[in-house]
Amino acid sequence: MPQLKIMKVRPKIILCFTLIFVVAFVASSYQAHITIESSLLSSGLSDMQIASILNEVGILVGIASLTIGTGAILTMLWVSSRIASPIKQLDFQLKSLQVGKKLRTIEIKRNRIDQDDEINDVIYTINSMINQINELEEEKDDRLAVITHELKTPLSAILGFAQVMQKPKVMGELNPKQEKALKIINKNVTNLKVMITDLLDYHKLDLNKMRYEYAYVDIPKLLEKLLDTHQKYMEEKQIEYLISTPGKIYTKTDRERLEHVFDHLLLNAVDFVPQKGGKIEIGAQTKDGEILCYVKDNGIGIPVKKQEDLFKKPPPDRTITRTHGGRGLGLAVCKGIINGLGGKIWIESEQAKGSIFYFTIPIRGKNEKID
C-alpha cells in the first residue's frame, strides 16, 4: 500500500511559511528602522545619540524577531502535527489491513483541532468500501462451499459405483477392457474429488475458517480403508503396498481431515514411484506422547533445495506437479490441516532414493473407551 504523501509535503509547507514570515518581518523591520531614523533626525538629537537609540532599537527588534519567529515555527509545527495526526493513523491502519482476511473497519482517535469534515468523509468512505469487500468475501465463501458440495456429491456416487463394479462377487467378472476402464474412472474421479476438496480447504485455511469435528478414530482401520480405496490402480502400476502399525492406535481427531491428508500423500507417492517395482509403505506409531504417521516411497525423490518450498501456499515451483498431473495446493492444504489438528508435517527425501513424508497428531482421550 503506497505511503500517504502528507508526511513529505508538511515540512515543505512549514519551510515555505517560515521563509514568508522572515521576509515579511525583515521588510517591516527595515521600514520601521527608516521611519524611526527620519523621526530622530528631525528631533534635533546629535548623531551619537541617534546611533545609540537606533542600536538599541535594532537589538530589541532582533530579540523580538527571534522570539516571534521561534514561537511561530513551534506553533506551526504543533498545529500541523495535530492536523496530520489522524492522517498518520489512517496511513498506519491501511497498511495493517491484510488481504485475504476479514478487513476491520478503521477507527481513529481525533483531537478537537483536527475534527474536520473532510477527514471524517474519507474515513466513512473507506469503511464503507471495507464493509462492501467483507460482504463480497462472505458471499464468495458461501457460493464456493455450495459449488464444491454440489460437485462432490455426484463424484462420490460415481466413485462408489466404480468401486462396486470392480468386485466380481457383486457385478460379476469383467473383461480386461472393462476392468481397465473402471480403473481409469476410479483414479481420475478420486483425483478430481481430492482437488475439489483442496480448493475449499485451501480457501478456508487462508481465511482461518477451517473447522474440525473430533471423534474417536481407529488409525489401523483407517489405513486399511485407504488400501481398499486405492488398491486397484496401485495394482495396475504393480506397486507393492505395506501397512505398518505396531498394534491398536486410537485418538480423538477429525477423521475426514486426517483421511484427506493420507489420501494426498498416498496419491503423491503413487505418482512418483517407478512404473514397475514401486514400493509404498504407510504406517503409524505412538512416539513421545504423539502419533507419528508416515508415507514412504521409493520414487524419484525431491532435491533438498526444493524441500523448503514444498509446503508453501501455493508452491512456487509447479514443474513437478504439472508433469505428474499434480494437485498444486495439496501439500499446502496438508500442512494447514495438520497444524490445525495440533501436529506438524515434514519430509525426508533424497533425489533418486525416494521420500518419506512424516506428520504427527496429538493423542487425545487415550484412556477412554471406544464405542
More confident residue, 367 or 231: 231
pLDDT over threshold 70, residue 362: yes
Q: What is the distance between the alpha carbons of residues 174 and 167, in angstroms, rounded to a whole number?
A: 9
- Distances from the Cα of 60 to the Cα of 19, 34, 67, 72, angstroms: 21, 15, 10, 18
CB 181 within 8 A of CB 216: no
Q: How far is 56 from 125, CA to CA, in rounded Å?
A: 59
Mean pLDDT along residues 201-211: 80
Least trusted range by pLDDT, from 33-42, 172-181, 200-209: 33-42
- pLDDT tens digit sequence for 31-62: 776 777 677 677 767 777 777 777 777 777 77
- Residues of the chain within CATH 1.10.287 domain(s) are 110-210
How many Å apart are CA 296 and CA 262, to the nearest integer? 11
Q: Rg of the Cα trace of the chain?
A: 38
Highest mean pLDDT among 36-50, 83-97, 170-184, 351-365: 351-365
Q: Percent of the chain beyond pLDDT 90? A: 22
CATH 3.30.565.10 in the chain, residue ranges: 212-371
Burial class (CB in 10 A: 0-12, 13-18, 19+), 33: middle
Residue with grid cell 492522517, as numbered in its chain: 87
Average pLDDT of the residues in 14-21? 70
Instruction: Tell me whether the omega of the peptide bond preceding residue 314 falls within 30 degrees of 0, making it cis.
Output: yes
Residue 298: which pLDDT band, with cuts at 50, 70 and 90?
very high
358: helix, strand or coil: strand
What average pLDDT does this structure show over 172-193? 83
Give 218 or 144, the one with higher predicted confidence: 218
Q: Considering the entire predicted model, what is its pTM? A: 0.59
| Each residue's pLDDT tens digit, 254-268 | 999 999 999 889 988
CA separation for the pair 172, 258 (Å, rounded): 34
Q: In what order do the strands lie in the sheet with 279-287?
A: 240-244, 279-287, 290-297, 355-362, 345-349
Query: Rounded to 5 degrees, what angle do the CA atoms 234, 239, 245 make?
Result: 95
Which of the four CATH numbers 3.40.47.10, 3.30.565.10, 3.40.50.2300, 3.30.470.10 does domain 212-371 have? 3.30.565.10
Span 110-210: which CATH code? 1.10.287
